[in-house]
Structure 1
C-alpha cells in the first residue's frame, strides 16, 4: 500500500461527518477527478505556449485524427468534443481567422458544410498533439510501464461498467 494522500484526508473527514458517503465510490470519484485535473492543467499549460485553447486544440486534434482530407462536418465536431453548437461555431470562426481551418460547402447538400484543416493547420495540429502528449507523458513517467498498462486496463473496465450503467438509466 502507498502512503496516505489528500483523498485519504477527505475520506477521513467524511467518515466523521457523514460516514455513509465515505466509501470506495467517493475515493474513486476524487482520485479520478484529481487525475483528470492534473492532465488538464498540464495540457492547458502546453497549449498556452502554442497560443491555443483547449477547445481549439480539440477541433484541431479531431480534424487531424480523421486523416486525409482532414475534414468533418461541424455537427461531428460538436458531438466529438461535447461542445454546444454555438461553442463549436465560435471555435471554428477563431481557427478560420488564423488560417488553421477552412469552411467548405458540402457538394451534396447546400445547407451543410465541411470544416477542413489547412496545410498550416495540419502542422499546428501535429505540433499541438505532440506537445500535449509529451506534457502528459511527463506526468506519468515515474510510474513503471507495467503498472501504467495495468492501470489503463483497469480504467477501461471501470469506464465500460460506468458507461453501461449510464446508458441503462437513460
Structure 2
C-alpha cells in the first residue's frame, strides 16, 4: 500500500474489498477499472466544457474528427462512422442532422451505390474539428499537466498490454 500522501479515492475502497474477502487479483482488477473510469470521466468532463464553448457536443466533435482522420476529401459513409465511434445508427443519424444544419458536414450521393451516401466535412467543419482538437488538447494538458511523461508512458504501455489481451476476447 502506498504512503498516505500517495493515496487516491480508489485506495479508500480497497479495505472494504479486502474485508469482503476478494482475492488480490480481483482487487487489482477493480482498482484498474475504477481508476481508468475515473480518469476517463475527468478527461471527458474537461473536454465537454471546452467543446461547449465552441457550440459542440462531445458526439459532434467525435464525428468531426473521425471525418478529419479519414483524410482529404474528409468523407466516410454513415455506417463507417457508426462503427468507428461505437454509436448506434440512430445516434449517428441525429448527430449528422445537427452537423448538417450547422453547415459542418454535407451528405453527398454515392455514384456507385444509389442506396448509399457519403458524409463529408465542409471547410467550416474542418475548422471546427481543428478548433475542437486544440480545446481537447488543452483539456488533456490541464487534467494531466502534473503527471510526468515517464508515468504517462508507463501507464499507456501497460494499458496497451491489457487491451491487447482484452481485445482478443469476445465480451458478452
**Shorter chain as normaliser: what TM range?**
over 0.9
Q: Which runs of 4+ in 1 moved over 4 A?
A: none
1:69-127 CA deviation, whole Å, 9 max, x = no partner?
Answer: 00000000000111110110010000000100000000100000000000111101110
Greater mean alpha carbon deviation, residues 128-137 or residues 91-100: 128-137
Q: How far did 1:13 drift?
A: 2.1
Please give the secondary structure, in 2, of the residue aligned with 1:52.
Answer: coil
What does 1:73-88 correspond to in 2, within 5 Å?
Answer: 73-88=77-92
Deviations 1:30-57 (A, max 9, x none): 1111111111111111111111111101
Q: CA deviation at 1:129?
A: 1.2
Unaligned runs of 5+ residues in structure 1 are: none
Which residue is 2:22 aligned to?
20
Cα separation, 1, equivalents of 2:49 and 2:161:
30
Distance in 2, matches of 1:61 and 1:41, equals 18
Q: Is the counterpart of residue 6 in structure 1 residue 19 in structure 2?
A: no
CA distance in 2, matches of 1:34, 1:19: 24
Q: Deviations over 1:11-37 (max 9, x none)?
A: 212322x22266111111111111111
Counterpart for residue 65 of structure 1? 69
RMSD: 1.5
Return the alpha-carbon distance in structure 2 between the equivalents of residues 91 and 75 of structure 1: 13
Which TM-score applies when normalising by structure 1?
A: 0.92
Alpha-carbon distance in 2 for matches of 1:82, 1:26? 24
Match of 1:93 in 2: 97
Match of 2:137 in 1: 133
Alignment partners' CA distance in 2, 1:147 and 1:34: 17
- Structure 2 unaligned residues grouped into runs of 5+: none
Aligned equivalent of 2:115: 111
Give the structure with the larger helix fraction: 1
